[in-house]
């Protein structure tokens, strides 16, 4: 009961985290010729909803696109995290980005993707889709990032829980998301050794 109470946001809504990680690396910009796509999933037990957030940024930390969607369901965290990565891949392909780095704060799913072994779980079909979609890109990598480095996508996933339809932003972004992206970018440059 204490754990559930501690996990409630300001409005009293329980938002389940999908990773055990809460400290570690900050968000880092991708190389100049690449796009970094961060994804995350959040769950609301009260609403029985899952929210997915995907954020794409360039080497200058500028937001290029952001997507959010919600569904009425309670699913396994690994399934939703893999779904978020697959959604990011679909959006990157539609945007015609040839070189992309996909990051998630769910180490378990990232490890499954990078091992490229057959899985015997509910996430197996999504992982197969991800493996098949790799050929759509000239270069496509998957990496784990701690929650602190995935803050934009995490905030968007929490926001998405209460959505009733899919939302996509390009060029013009909500101020809170723009500010979060800028703060992450500034934080990534604060510890660069000279």
Q: What single string gives the DSSP state of each residue in 6-27? A: HTB-TTS-BEE-S-S--SSPPP
pLDDT tens-digit map of 66-78: 999 998 876 788 9
Name the average pLDDT for the chain: 84
CA distance 164 to 70: 7
| Distance of alpha carbon 159 from the chain centroid | 13
Q: Residue 43 pairs with which residues in a beta bridge?
A: 16, 50
pLDDT-derived band at 137 (thresholds 50, 70, 90) equals very high
The predicted pLDDT at position 102 comes to: 97
Take residue 64 and report the two structure tokens written for it. 């290029």
The predicted pLDDT at position 58 comes to: 94
Q: Which residue has the higher pLDDT, 4 or 123?
A: 123
Question: Is residue 51 a contact partner of residue 157, using CB atoms and an 8 Å limit?
Answer: yes
> Which one, of 19, 47, 10, 13, lies nearest residue 153 by Cα?
19
The predicted pLDDT at position 24 comes to: 46
DSSP one-letter code for 31? P
Strands 139-144, 49-57: parallel, antiparallel or unpaired by DSSP? unpaired
The predicted pLDDT at position 164 comes to: 86
pLDDT tens-digit map of 143-177: 999 988 899 999 999 999 989 889 999 989 999 99
The predicted pLDDT at position 23 comes to: 40
pTM: 0.82
Strands 35-44, 15-16: parallel, antiparallel or unpaired by DSSP? antiparallel
> Which one, of 147, 186, 171, lies nearest residue 53 by Cα?
147
> Which one, of 1, 41, 6, 9, lies nearest residue 153 by Cα?
41
Q: Does the pLDDT value for residue 141 go beyond 90?
A: yes
CA distance 194 to 184: 20
The predicted pLDDT at position 190 comes to: 59
């Amino acid at each position: 009961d204490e754990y559930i109470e501690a996990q409630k946001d300001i409005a009293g809504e329980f938002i389940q985290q999908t990773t055990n990680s809460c400290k570690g690396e900050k968000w880092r910009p991708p190389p100049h010729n690449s796009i970094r796509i961060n994804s995350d999933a959040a769950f609301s037990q009260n609403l029985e909803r899952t929210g997915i957030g995907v954020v794409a940024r360039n080497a200058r930390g500028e937001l290029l696109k952001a997507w959010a969607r919600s569904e009425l369901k309670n699913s396994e965290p690994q399934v939703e995290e893999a779904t978020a990565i697959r959604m990011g891949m679909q959006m990157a392909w539609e945007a015609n980005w040839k070189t992309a780095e996909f990051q998630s704060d769910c180490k378990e799913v990232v490890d499954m993707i990078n091992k490229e072994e057959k899985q015997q779980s509910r996430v197996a079909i999504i992982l197969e889709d991800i493996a098949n979609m790799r050929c759509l890109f000239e270069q496509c990598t998957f990496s784990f990032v701690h929650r602190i480095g995935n803050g934009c996508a995490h905030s968007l996933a929490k926001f998405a829980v209460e959505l009733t339809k899919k939302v996509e932003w390009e060029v013009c972004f909500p101020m809170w998301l723009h500010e979060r992206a800028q703060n992450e970018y500034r934080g990534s440059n604060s510890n660069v050794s000279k």
